Structure 1
Amino acid sequence: MAELTTVTDPDDPRLSDYTGLTDVELRRRREPAEGLFIAEGEKVIRRALDAGYAMRSMLLSAKWVDVMRDVIDETPAPVYAVAPELAERVTGYHVHRGALASMQRAPLQGAGALLAPESGDVRRVAVFEDIVDHANLGAAFRNAAALGVDAVLLTPRCADPLYRRAVKVSMGSVFHVPWTRLESWPADLGLLRAAGFTTAALCLGERSITLDELVARGYGKLALIFGTEGDGLTPQALGAADCHVRIPMDAGVDSLNVAAASAVAFYATRVRPA
């Protein structure tokens, strides 16, 4: 059972995991280096625990103590009760959901191990190149979880899916879709080919086939590659992909937001029952 401690000093070192949560650059540097991430809100905290992440501590406003009582009773991590005003001073924003937890990151496995047969029946993979917007990445993870994507691979410059905003937008889906970060891009597309995947780059271009045509080809193992929000995929990624694919659109619209495009592509290429 956790010890519930009331904290009244915003400079209390026990609250250090929660300081400056709105400072994106600080948190980008600090959280991976210290092996932590922040889960915000009751549902997200519970989903992180259900996924097997260990809790370092929890920060609650008074009205959330009873709501989270079962978690408090089951975790050995310290739980700090604070006034909403103090939580805002520490974090830098009004904590609407009243509950934050500092969670311990798990080591990432290599892409080769994630794609290996012993990892399960991995047949559809999403690859995100340089997606830097945390909300878009969180939404894409939520789409992946909802539409049966087996794994997600991120290029080295992609945003952190365990950053607070990405976790929040994903509603905790980032905890349930296996993912890892590639070390060399686009050379690591070779890992997908070695595992039997066809790599399909979502893009506009003269050689692009429609999404319907891709589906009709019936590839058994498919990796869908999505580019950054503004410029799309890099020439290097496009050159390394096996094929190019576009989503047909009307009304003079030429492209979709990357999260919306991922939802369309994931649904169209979903694995159907035999």
Structure 2
Amino acid sequence: MPRIVLEDLTDPQHVGFLRDYTHLKDVQLRARREPAEGLFLAEGVEVIRRALAAGHVPRSFLLSRARYSDLVNVLPEDATVFVAPVEAFAELTGVDLHRGAIASMQRPPVRSVASLLASLPPGPSRLVVLEDIVDHTNIGAIFRSVAAFGVDGVVVSPRCADPLYRRSVRVSMGTVLHLPWARAGSWPGDLTLLREAGFTVAALALSDDSVDLGSFAAPDRLALLLGTEGDGLSRRAVSGADVVVRIPMDPRVDSLNVAAASAVALWETRRA
């Protein structure tokens, strides 16, 4: 295994590999760079383990000595592994990676909604559809709930934040790395593809005709549609749904955080 021990992470000999880990604090830059350069980052020992177990292909690993010992048995034989003092990570990355473990992985191709639907088995199924959610923490938390409640896949709108962004992956505890998800090419037009595949699209929103989630009889094939932080679902998205549902709550509170709302709704509509 080409393990490279570095005291100086600015060593120009390795700048090509180490560039994957630079400027992590610049969210906008990383959000552009990572898809364009075909990579994503997995941070933390357990997330790296899950990325490898899910079949993701590593570009390189940046590990402290302690975390190298934790991962040595699962690292691919041909992996490029940089081992450096954890206190040196901040100089390279711009953030405090106190977990001492981060890996650059090859980004898989973006999946279409049609491809995701074709991969689903016939019969009862659950999907979550996200419109324009921009907070990476919320994306990660929703994917964690999706995994916890046995949902079959996720569809994200064209303007939704990247589920493979480092913070999303970390907050999801790596579940995003094995869950099937797709990015819509037409919005909200791709909701039609869901209905053609037999899904009832249920929009989680406040409206005069919304159905109390507790009394909603969830169909066998259900796609739960959730909207962006603050404004919620757009009118176009709601109009593309088959039914509008709401979470009953104290009238002094008008809504829940979208990640919390997803957990409640997924529990209420879980398959028997």
TM-score relative to the length of structure 2: 0.95
1:119 corresponding residue in structure 2: 120
2:5 corresponding residue in structure 1: 6
**Out of 15, 21, 24, which is 2:18 matched to?**
15
Residues 75 and 135 (structure 1), Cα distance of their counterparts in 2 relative to 1, 3 Å cut: farther
Distance (whole Å) between structure 2 residues aligned to residue 213 and residue 37 of structure 1: 41
AA matched with 2:60: S
2:225 corresponding residue in structure 1: 225
**Out of 51, 69, 78, which is 2:72 matched to?**
69
Shift of 1:238: 1.1
**Out of 41, 46, 50, which is 1:38 matched to?**
41
2:155 corresponding residue in structure 1: 153
Shift of 1:86: 2.0
Shift of 1:119: 3.3
Alignment pair present for 1:181 and 2:183: yes
Distance (whole Å) between structure 1 residues aligned to residue 9 and residue 248 of structure 2: 53
Distance (whole Å) between structure 2 residues aligned to residue 141 and residue 105 of structure 1: 18
Residues 46 and 271 (structure 1), Cα distance of their counterparts in 2 relative to 1, 3 Å cut: same
AA matched with 2:148: A
Shift of 1:176: 2.1
Alignment pair present for 1:28 and 2:27: no
- Number of aligned residue pairs: 267
Counterpart contact for 1:145–1:176, Cα < 8 Å? no
AA matched with 2:53: D
Counterpart contact for 1:55–1:75, Cα < 8 Å? no
Shift of 1:251: 5.4
Shift of 1:110: 1.6
Distance (whole Å) between structure 1 residues aligned to residue 68 and residue 111 of structure 2: 35
Distance (whole Å) between structure 2 residues aligned to residue 9 and residue 97 of structure 1: 19
Distance (whole Å) between structure 2 residues aligned to residue 165 and residue 75 of structure 1: 28
Q: Secondary structure at the match of 1:25?
A: helix
What is the aligned-residue identity percentage?
Answer: 55
Distance (whole Å) between structure 2 residues aligned to residue 33 and residue 243 of structure 1: 37
Q: How does 1:126-145 map to 2 (within 5 A)?
A: 126-145=128-147
Q: Secondary structure at the match of 2:73?
A: helix
**Out of 160, 164, 167, which is 1:165 matched to?**
167
Q: Secondary structure at the match of 1:59?
A: strand
Counterpart contact for 2:120–2:152, Cα < 8 Å? no
Distance (whole Å) between structure 2 residues aligned to residue 43 and residue 222 of structure 1: 31
Distance (whole Å) between structure 1 residues aligned to residue 20 and residue 117 of structure 2: 33
Shift of 1:97: 0.7
1:86 corresponding residue in structure 2: 88
TM-score relative to the length of structure 1: 0.94
Can you give the 5+ residue segments of structure 2 that lack an aligned partner in the other structure?
Answer: none
Identify which range, 246-255 or 118-127, moves more after superposition: 118-127
2:106 corresponding residue in structure 1: 104
Q: Secondary structure at the match of 1:125?
A: strand
Q: Secondary structure at the match of 1:66?
A: helix
Counterpart contact for 1:113–1:119, Cα < 8 Å? no
Distance (whole Å) between structure 2 residues aligned to residue 251 and residue 194 of structure 1: 37
AA matched with 2:85: A
1:5-40 Cα offsets, whole Å, 9 max, x none, are 012333331311101111101110000111110000
AA matched with 1:149: V
Distance (whole Å) between structure 2 residues aligned to residue 75 and residue 101 of structure 1: 15
Alignment pair present for 1:54 and 2:57: yes
Distance (whole Å) between structure 2 residues aligned to residue 55 and residue 190 of structure 1: 36
